[in-house]
A and B are shown apart, each in its own frame.
Chain A
Amino acid sequence: MRTVIFRTIAPYLSALMVLFSVFVLLRGHNEPGGGFIGGLIAASAFAIYGIACGVAAVRRAIIFHPMSLSAFGLFIAGLSGLPSLFMRQPFMTSQWWYIHIFGVEIPLSTPLIFDVGVYFVVVGAISSIALALEERESD
């Protein structure tokens, strides 16, 4: 598997896939996409990087332990349900904020925060499983 071509291309490919995963995550509210799919794309990017350059390199690159990433996602996904309670609405009712930057209206919302949370949960969980399997292969 570890040919020169693959090892040379893998970092760029992974970087591109992570970028694409963020794009998929953000377009997810009204079009196909979203946190789950974005997370899967990012996790497969890490898996490819791991196959090419070794699991240790991936662990260095993502800095945090995958499970911590997933816990962070769970945390903000849980938090995203709370603001509506303070508006005296049921849990998880979506709240919207419209922010104007350079004349462009950017709709921010709690579903987006929730989706980002899902993204992190999926990235963390799937890449920790993938890395665990890749690690054992080389034993």
Chain B
Amino acid sequence: MEAGLSVLIGLFFAVSVYLLMSRQIVRIMLGIAILGNAVNLLIFTAGRLTREVPPVIPEGAVTPLEQTANPLPQALILTAIVISFSFFAFLLVLAFRSYQELGTDDANEMRVAEPAGEPAPPQGY
């Protein structure tokens, strides 16, 4: 099972790296979204896959009665999902605003902050 998921994670990484190398901001953002999912899957797999019951201690007991699934990776993934979700929402607004302001979503043409062909600094008075 871990092997199968590993292949899937590899696929996710391949797709995201391909998208990240694009010049279009929208594609880069899709790449980031997929990269985040790849990492989440990886954490899930790194916590070992088990077909166990949820880690809930029944009423009256103080320890789990049988072996339970590992809750920590799930907590980590939940945190990571929440964070990447809010980042993605912010990035979406940012990309949209910059598309409105700059009129392009091509990273090569976004040269407002760093104009191309700046002259050399002064050499003397």
Q: Do chains A and B touch in the complex (CB under 8 A)?
A: yes
Q: Name the residue on B nearest A126 (C-beta).
A: B89
Q: How far is the CB of A108 from chain B (nearest CB, A)?
A: 21
Asked if A132 contacts B93 (CB within 8 A), the reply is: yes
Which residues in A have their C-beta under 8 angstroms from that of B100?
Answer: 136
**Residue contact B89 to A136, C-beta cutoff 8 Å:** no
Say yes or no: A136 contacts B96, CB within 8 Å: yes
Determine whether A36 belongs to the interface, using a CB cutoff of 8 Å to chain B: yes
- Cβ contacts under 8 Å, B86 to chain A: 125-126
Closest chain A CB from B56 CB (angstroms): 9
- CB neighbours of A99 from chain B (8 A): none
Total residues of chain A contacting the partner, CB 8 A? 7
Report the count of interface residues on B (CB-CB < 8 A): 8
> What's the A-B contact tally at a CB cutoff of 8 Å?
15
User: By the criterion CB–CB under 8 Å, are B90 and A133 in contact?
Assistant: no
A91 to chain B, nearest CB (A): 18
Which residues of the partner chain B approach A132 to less than 8 Å between Cβ atoms? 93
Residue of B nearest to A36 (CB): B82
Whether A133 and B82, one on each chain, are in contact in the complex, defined by CB atoms closer than 8 angstroms, is: no
* B86 smallest CB distance to A (angstroms): 6
Q: In the assembled complex, how far is the CB of residue B94 from the closest CB belonging to chain A, in whole angstroms?
A: 11
Closest residue to B97 on the A side, CB-wise?
A: A136
Nearest-CB distance from B36 to chain A (Å)? Answer: 17
B29 shortest CB reach to chain A, Å: 14
Q: Is B92's beta carbon under 8 Å from chain A? A: yes
The verdict on A129 contacting chain B, using a C-beta distance below 8 Å, is yes
Q: How far is the CB of B48 from chain A (nearest CB, A)?
A: 23
- Does B90 lie within 8 Å of A129, measured CB to CB? yes
State the CA gap A125–B82 with chains docked (Å).
12
Cβ-defined contact, B82 with A129, below 8 A: no
Contact mask B83-112 → A, CB, 8 Å, 1/0? 000100110110010001000000000000
Within 8 A of A (CB), among B49-106: 82, 86, 89-90, 92-93, 96, 100
* B interface residues with partner A (beta carbon < 8 Å): 82, 86, 89-90, 92-93, 96, 100
A interface residues, Cβ below 8 angstroms from B: 36, 125-126, 129, 132-133, 136
A-B pairs with the 5 shortest C-beta distances?
A129-B89, A129-B93, A132-B93, A36-B82, A125-B86
15 contacts between A and B (CB under 8 A): A36-B82, A125-B86, A125-B89, A126-B86, A126-B89, A129-B89, A129-B90, A129-B92, A129-B93, A132-B93, A133-B92, A133-B93, A133-B96, A136-B96, A136-B100
